[in-house]
Amino acid sequence: MSASQASLLLQKQLRDLCKAPVDGFSAGLVDDTNVFEWRVTIIGPPDTLYDGGFFCAIMSFPSDYPQRPPTVRFTSEMWHPNVYPDGRVCISILHPPGDDPNGYEQSSERWMPVHTVESIVLSIISMLSSPNDESPANVEAAKEWREKRDEFRRKVGRCVRKSQEML
Protein backbone atom coordinates (compact mmCIF):
# COMPACT_ATOMS: atom_id res chain seq x y z
CA MET A 1 0.00 0.00 0.00
CA SER A 2 1.37 3.42 -0.91
CA ALA A 3 1.51 6.49 1.32
CA SER A 4 -1.36 8.01 -0.67
CA GLN A 5 -3.51 4.90 -0.10
CA ALA A 6 -2.61 5.01 3.61
CA SER A 7 -3.55 8.68 3.63
CA LEU A 8 -6.95 7.95 2.03
CA LEU A 9 -7.63 5.17 4.53
CA LEU A 10 -6.76 7.42 7.49
CA GLN A 11 -8.94 10.23 6.10
CA LYS A 12 -11.83 7.76 5.85
CA GLN A 13 -11.30 6.55 9.44
CA LEU A 14 -11.24 10.17 10.64
CA ARG A 15 -14.48 10.96 8.76
CA ASP A 16 -16.13 7.83 10.20
CA LEU A 17 -15.13 8.80 13.76
CA CYS A 18 -16.42 12.35 13.25
CA LYS A 19 -19.74 11.05 11.89
CA ALA A 20 -20.16 8.37 14.57
CA PRO A 21 -18.06 9.18 17.67
CA VAL A 22 -17.22 6.25 19.93
CA ASP A 23 -17.75 6.41 23.69
CA GLY A 24 -14.57 6.68 25.73
CA PHE A 25 -12.35 8.75 23.47
CA SER A 26 -12.07 11.53 20.92
CA ALA A 27 -9.61 11.71 18.04
CA GLY A 28 -8.45 14.26 15.52
CA LEU A 29 -5.39 15.39 13.64
CA VAL A 30 -2.53 17.12 15.46
CA ASP A 31 -2.19 19.38 12.40
CA ASP A 32 -4.68 19.51 9.51
CA THR A 33 -1.87 19.14 6.96
CA ASN A 34 -0.69 15.74 8.27
CA VAL A 35 -3.11 12.80 8.35
CA PHE A 36 -0.35 10.54 9.77
CA GLU A 37 -0.28 12.24 13.23
CA TRP A 38 -3.40 12.04 15.38
CA ARG A 39 -4.17 13.41 18.83
CA VAL A 40 -6.36 11.12 20.89
CA THR A 41 -7.97 11.89 24.23
CA ILE A 42 -8.94 8.82 26.21
CA ILE A 43 -11.43 9.17 29.02
CA GLY A 44 -10.41 7.01 31.97
CA PRO A 45 -12.72 3.99 31.93
CA PRO A 46 -15.46 3.99 34.60
CA ASP A 47 -14.91 1.73 37.62
CA THR A 48 -11.13 1.64 37.10
CA LEU A 49 -8.32 3.50 38.85
CA TYR A 50 -8.17 5.79 35.75
CA ASP A 51 -11.84 6.83 36.06
CA GLY A 52 -12.27 10.59 35.67
CA GLY A 53 -8.99 11.11 33.86
CA PHE A 54 -8.52 12.66 30.41
CA PHE A 55 -5.37 11.17 28.94
CA CYS A 56 -3.87 12.60 25.77
CA ALA A 57 -1.83 10.52 23.36
CA ILE A 58 -0.28 10.90 19.93
CA MET A 59 -0.78 8.19 17.30
CA SER A 60 1.87 8.21 14.59
CA PHE A 61 1.08 6.16 11.51
CA PRO A 62 3.73 4.72 9.16
CA SER A 63 3.46 5.54 5.44
CA ASP A 64 2.62 1.88 4.77
CA TYR A 65 -0.33 1.78 7.20
CA PRO A 66 -2.28 -0.52 7.56
CA GLN A 67 0.45 -3.04 6.72
CA ARG A 68 2.38 -1.85 9.78
CA PRO A 69 0.97 -0.55 13.09
CA PRO A 70 1.09 3.01 14.36
CA THR A 71 2.98 3.94 17.50
CA VAL A 72 0.95 5.38 20.37
CA ARG A 73 2.53 7.57 23.04
CA PHE A 74 0.76 9.17 25.97
CA THR A 75 1.63 12.82 26.33
CA SER A 76 -0.27 12.92 29.63
CA GLU A 77 1.55 11.45 32.60
CA MET A 78 0.65 7.76 32.84
CA TRP A 79 1.50 5.13 35.47
CA HIS A 80 0.69 1.70 34.10
CA PRO A 81 2.53 -1.63 33.66
CA ASN A 82 1.98 -1.55 29.87
CA VAL A 83 3.15 2.02 29.28
CA TYR A 84 6.88 2.75 29.05
CA PRO A 85 8.17 5.60 31.25
CA ASP A 86 8.38 7.77 28.09
CA GLY A 87 4.64 7.25 27.45
CA ARG A 88 4.83 4.66 24.65
CA VAL A 89 2.02 2.11 24.81
CA CYS A 90 3.01 -1.56 24.72
CA ILE A 91 0.15 -3.85 23.72
CA SER A 92 0.22 -6.86 21.41
CA ILE A 93 -1.83 -5.36 18.59
CA LEU A 94 0.74 -2.57 18.20
CA HIS A 95 3.58 -5.07 17.68
CA PRO A 96 4.67 -5.75 14.08
CA PRO A 97 2.80 -8.54 12.31
CA GLY A 98 4.12 -12.08 12.24
CA ASP A 99 5.70 -14.31 14.85
CA ASP A 100 6.97 -12.85 18.13
CA PRO A 101 10.76 -13.24 18.21
CA ASN A 102 10.51 -13.63 22.03
CA GLY A 103 7.73 -16.22 21.83
CA TYR A 104 5.35 -14.37 24.20
CA GLU A 105 2.58 -13.65 21.69
CA GLN A 106 0.88 -15.61 18.97
CA SER A 107 0.88 -13.94 15.55
CA SER A 108 -2.93 -13.69 15.84
CA GLU A 109 -2.48 -11.33 18.84
CA ARG A 110 -0.15 -9.00 16.97
CA TRP A 111 -0.84 -6.25 14.42
CA MET A 112 -3.20 -7.07 11.56
CA PRO A 113 -4.25 -4.68 8.78
CA VAL A 114 -7.92 -5.01 9.81
CA HIS A 115 -7.25 -2.86 12.88
CA THR A 116 -8.53 0.71 12.80
CA VAL A 117 -7.97 3.78 14.96
CA GLU A 118 -11.12 2.78 16.80
CA SER A 119 -10.02 -0.82 17.50
CA ILE A 120 -6.58 0.38 18.62
CA VAL A 121 -7.97 2.96 21.06
CA LEU A 122 -10.54 0.49 22.40
CA SER A 123 -7.66 -1.95 23.04
CA ILE A 124 -5.81 0.78 24.96
CA ILE A 125 -8.94 1.51 27.03
CA SER A 126 -9.18 -2.22 27.75
CA MET A 127 -5.49 -2.21 28.75
CA LEU A 128 -6.22 0.57 31.28
CA SER A 129 -9.02 -1.56 32.73
CA SER A 130 -6.91 -4.70 33.08
CA PRO A 131 -3.12 -4.33 33.09
CA ASN A 132 -0.99 -7.22 31.86
CA ASP A 133 1.88 -7.55 34.32
CA GLU A 134 3.26 -10.68 32.61
CA SER A 135 5.43 -8.77 30.12
CA PRO A 136 5.52 -5.21 31.45
CA ALA A 137 6.83 -2.14 29.64
CA ASN A 138 7.17 -0.38 33.00
CA VAL A 139 8.68 -2.94 35.37
CA GLU A 140 8.36 -0.65 38.40
CA ALA A 141 4.66 -0.03 37.80
CA ALA A 142 4.09 -3.78 37.30
CA LYS A 143 5.92 -4.60 40.52
CA GLU A 144 3.87 -1.99 42.40
CA TRP A 145 0.64 -3.28 40.78
CA ARG A 146 1.45 -6.77 42.13
CA GLU A 147 3.04 -5.98 45.50
CA LYS A 148 2.05 -2.48 46.67
CA ARG A 149 -1.43 -1.87 45.28
CA ASP A 150 -2.05 1.15 47.58
CA GLU A 151 1.07 2.90 46.32
CA PHE A 152 0.08 2.07 42.72
CA ARG A 153 -3.41 3.50 43.37
CA ARG A 154 -1.92 6.72 44.77
CA LYS A 155 0.33 7.25 41.74
CA VAL A 156 -2.52 6.63 39.30
CA GLY A 157 -4.72 9.03 41.30
CA ARG A 158 -2.04 11.70 40.87
CA CYS A 159 -1.99 11.09 37.10
CA VAL A 160 -5.82 11.39 36.96
CA ARG A 161 -5.77 14.71 38.89
CA LYS A 162 -2.98 16.06 36.68
CA SER A 163 -4.90 15.10 33.53
CA GLN A 164 -7.97 16.98 34.82
CA GLU A 165 -5.91 20.11 35.50
CA MET A 166 -4.55 20.04 31.92
CA LEU A 167 -8.02 20.50 30.39
Q: Which of 18, 56, 90, 159 is catalytic?
A: 90
Sign of CA dihedral 147, 42, 12, 89: negative
pLDDT reading at 33 higher than 70: yes
The yes-or-no answer on residue 18 being catalytic is no
Q: Would you tell me the crossing angle of helices 117-129 and 3-19 to the nearest 10 degrees?
A: 60
96: CB partners within 8 A, 6+ apart? 68, 69, 110, 111
42-76: per-residue pLDDT in tens? 999 999 999 999 999 999 999 999 999 999 999 99
CB–CB of 55/45 below 8 Å? no
Neighbours of 70 (CB within 10 A): 22
What local confidence, expressed as pLDDT, does residue 1 receive?
A: 62
What local confidence, expressed as pLDDT, does residue 60 receive?
A: 98
